[in-house]
Amino acid sequence: MNATPTILVLGATGSIGYAVTANLLARRFPITILVRNRAKADALFPNEPTLTIVEGDVQDAVLLNQLAVDKDFIFHGINYPYNKWFGNMDTATQKIINAAAQNQATIVLPGNVYNFGNTKEPIREDSRPNPCTRKGQLRVEIEAMLEQAANAGKCNVLNVRLPDFWGPNVLNEGIRPIFENALNGKAMPWIANADIPHQLVYTKDAAEIIVRLMLQNIDLTESSDRPNPSPKKQQRGETAYQVWNYGGTTVPSMRAWFGQISALTGKPLNVQLHSRFLFSVLGLFMPVMREVKEMLYLYENTILLNDRKVLVLFPDFQPTPMKQALTETLTWFSENQLKHSFTPAVGTN
């Protein structure tokens, strides 16, 4: 592996892919991103001398293989709407494995908690999967594909499990309306229960953990090259497939978190809860809502990741202070989505 790694990022204009790409570019690493919309990528990453943007689709195996042939890392930030997961998430993952096998690259996967169902115990890296949904079962199968490929020596894998994302450029329908509505003085929406603890991760902090783990992987490879065996053979076994958890912040309740957002905007706190019944009705007409309905347990209960392992590995890591992270996110949404500037309310500093 090169001292300065070569990296292919898939999903760079999405939530976590954007944050990881921005982190890597700040370190001046040479990055190639494969995107479906070049104009969107140009707007998100202007004037980046170490960035190569290629327009195309991850399902184009020929193009994917061309881009991956000399890469040390492939960041698998690909996602599809819930109702398009089946037949897309699995096939995309297999194509990424095949592309990585050309150079025994390391695939970096931002995992989630779906594999473990409605667990009452904090999820450890070695917790046994116990999905309670179809999409949870698919995530188990995707991780199994990656682990099998790593154990067969085709690639290495860093699986970094994360809770719900939030931050700049997180535009999913669970997070985007919270910040846009807060800026407009409208009710901030949430699902099922806003009064129980919930785990959330600021994407900039998740990206920092992910990139640190990538750099740690380089260190392991370089140390294994002295004097033998070869780095690629050395990484098979324990280090070929690595799982790490990063839980971000567990807020006491979403209502309390919304209160912090409201204080920064200077507008009254107003929360709108969407019930299970609403998703049942919407699901009659909207396929994606039928898929959302089976995931409501994540919002009716508190599901937690145990991330002690990664925090011990990086004892100097400090997450972004909440007020700063919220201000950065409100500023991004105000400037990029609503097209006006944002100044925190007086008395919030």
Neighbours of 324 (CB within 10 A): 12
123: which strand partners?
A: 305
My answer on whether 216 and 294 are in the same domain is: no
Residues 226, 215 share a domain: yes
- What is the share, in percent, of the chain residues with pLDDT greater than 70? 92
State whether 283 and 159 are in the same domain. no
Work out the mean pLDDT of the chain and round it to a whole number: 92
- Co-location of 114 and 156 in the same domain: yes
Flag whether 307 is in a domain. Answer: no
pLDDT digits (tens, 9 = 90+) for 229-240: 333 433 444 589
Residue 343 within a domain: no
What confidence tens digit (pLDDT) does each residue in 318-343 have?
A: 999 999 999 999 999 999 999 999 99
Q: Are 89 and 21 within one domain?
A: yes
Q: Which amino acid is it at 252?
A: P
* Domain housing 38: 7-165+201-245
Q: Is residue 114 part of a domain?
A: yes
Do residues 92 and 190 share a domain? no
Q: In terms of domains, do 66 and 126 share one?
A: yes
Q: Residue 239 domain-assigned?
A: yes
- Domain count for the chain, please give it: 2
Contacts of 288 (CB under 8 A, 6+ apart): 81, 82, 83
CA atoms of 208 and 214, how far apart (whole Å): 10
Look at residue 239 in the predicted model and tell me its pLDDT: 82
Q: pLDDT of 124-182, one tens digit each?
A: 999 999 999 999 999 999 999 999 999 999 999 999 999 999 999 999 999 999 999 99
**Per-residue pLDDT tens for 13-34?**
999 999 999 999 999 999 999 9
What average pLDDT does this structure show over 108-122? 97
